[in-house]
Amino acid sequence: MRPTLPLKLVSALLAASLAGTALADVTLKLPPGFTATVVQEGLGAGRHLVVGANGDVYLASRNGLVALRDSNGDGTLDKTEPFGEVKGTEVRLFKDWLYVSDDVGVYRYPLKKGELAPKGARETVVAGFPRERQHADKTFALDPKGTLYVNVGAPSNSCQIKDREEGSLGQNPCPILEKYGGVWVFDGTKTNQTPANGRRFATGMRNAVALEWNTSQGALYSVIHGRDSIDTLFPALYTAEDNATRQAEEFHQITDGGNYGWPYTFFDTKLGKRVVAPEYGGDGKKLADAGKYPDPLVAFPAHWAPNDLLFYAGKNFPAKYQDGAFIAFHGSWNRAPEPQAGYKVVFQPMKGGKPDGAYETFADGFAGEIKDNNPRNAEYRPVGLAIAPDGSLYIADSQKGRIWHVTYQK
């Protein structure tokens, strides 16, 4: 089914929002010199986005794909063209192709010069991943050779015999890891592949939505969603406050054959060490076997939900941002009853592919006041990041389908 958007309504809302009159709004907090402009809104449940060499923007959303262009030079993406039939999370450009994905496959459209929405037929790159509800988004990255790295999230919290059931122990070995919970690699230039044509590149990753090829390092990176509910599943070991704070969102370089420890372990931010998960004999402090799984490059706070990762290689931002990582944190739900957290874009300085100093908040204020501490009441939630050819940054939101354009001026 072709997605339809009430474009007249979108235009009206956009005009009102840009004039700053009609909509209850948020003001993003950014470092000095940066400005965020709302360039489009009302695009549905936005996910990732990408910017072409001519400045055209492509947004993936759960409602469908949308191509956007600034047709009159006013700085907003005034022209919007919904296209195709893929509802999902990832969208990337590689050579003359626009690659997209949904929960069961990765596809591509030929993109001809001058076209806003691609007119050519969609090709299937790989399809046939099992349809799941939990952690189903098949986000992916492409390296310069066209190697396709696909995140196949685990449809499980911690591979318990009975998922999310109090006291249920972990399956050992976890059979889910045979087909899920890692990154599978394919030849991204070939069509009509099935999951069987892929190879498991890395494992022990619960859900690596934020997956990115770092061009300056020639290496793959991810910020992985950590596990939920240590308190309700193992109340004798963990409190609600423990659950809200201890299981890191782990930032790793993802190497061929790497194993990042899910579901057997998690990185405990309180102890600053990797611990055995309670489903696998953990007692709240028992450490994982030394050296078996890598420590994260950075342990981000629990439940922040890293949904996109981007290495800055543009020319607009100051020198300190070069090669550093921007991470879009979608924000928590499993921290309740503790206050929700995340809902921001963070910058992690990097040098030579390693962290170079502490991370800092780059853009905040998306959520506004979260009424009743319920994520559905957040005004906006950052979910996608993209760099434009001029080095400026786009941020996509999942609540109302808003896009911000962030620029820097000395």
List residues binding another protein (CB under 8 A). 131, 133-136, 157, 162-168, 228-229, 231-232, 235, 240, 243, 333-337, 372-377
User: Nearer Cβ to another protein, position 77 or 205?
Assistant: 205
User: Nearer Cβ to another protein, position 108 or 335?
Assistant: 335
User: Nearer Cβ to another protein, position 157 or 316?
Assistant: 157
User: Nearer Cβ to another protein, position 95 or 162?
Assistant: 162
Task: At 5, list the tokens.
Answer: 């958007």
User: Nearer Cβ to another protein, position 231 or 308?
Assistant: 231
**Taking a C-beta distance cutoff of 8 angstroms, is the pair 184, 201 a contact?**
yes
From first CA to last CA, the distance across the chain in angstroms is 46
User: Nearer Cβ to another protein, position 231 or 268?
Assistant: 231
Task: At 26, list the tokens.
Answer: 């948020």
Task: At 70, list the tokens.
Answer: 């600034």
- Beta strand pairing status for 344-348 and 91-94? unpaired
Q: In what order do the strands lie in the sheet with 219-224?
A: 210-214, 219-224, 249-254, 298-300
Per-residue DSSP letters for 10-78?
HHHHHHHHHHTSSS-----B--TTEEEEEEE---SSEEEEEE-TTS-EEEEETT-EEEEE-SSSSSS--
- Separation between Cα atoms, residue 380 and residue 345, nearest integer Å: 12
User: Nearer Cβ to another protein, position 20 or 130?
Assistant: 130
Least distance from C-beta 20 to another protein, angstroms?
A: 27
Least distance from C-beta 164 to another protein, angstroms?
A: 5
Helix%, strand%, coil% for the chain, nearest 5: 10, 35, 55
Task: At 208, list the tokens.
Answer: 């690596």
**Taking a C-beta distance cutoff of 8 angstroms, is the pair 61, 47 a contact?**
yes
Least distance from C-beta 232 to another protein, angstroms?
A: 6
- Separation between Cα atoms, residue 313 and residue 212, nearest integer Å: 13
Tell me the C-alpha to C-alpha distance, in Å, between residue 38 and each of 80, 216, 321, 355. 14, 30, 22, 31
Helix (H) or strand (E) holding 241: helix 240-245
User: Nearer Cβ to another protein, position 102 or 231?
Assistant: 231
Least distance from C-beta 375 to another protein, angstroms?
A: 5
Least distance from C-beta 240 to another protein, angstroms?
A: 7
User: Nearer Cβ to another protein, position 69 or 164?
Assistant: 164
Least distance from C-beta 207 to another protein, angstroms?
A: 10
Least distance from C-beta 114 to another protein, angstroms?
A: 36
Map residue 196 onto helix, strand or coil. Answer: helix
Q: Which among 123, 246, 244 is positioned nearest to 193, based on CA atoms?
A: 123
Least distance from C-beta 261 to another protein, angstroms?
A: 22
Least distance from C-beta 327 to another protein, angstroms?
A: 20
User: Nearer Cβ to another protein, position 89 or 392?
Assistant: 89
Output the furthest CA–CA distance in the chain (Å, rounded).
Answer: 62
- Separation between Cα atoms, residue 14 and residue 69, nearest integer Å: 14
Least distance from C-beta 400 to another protein, angstroms?
A: 12
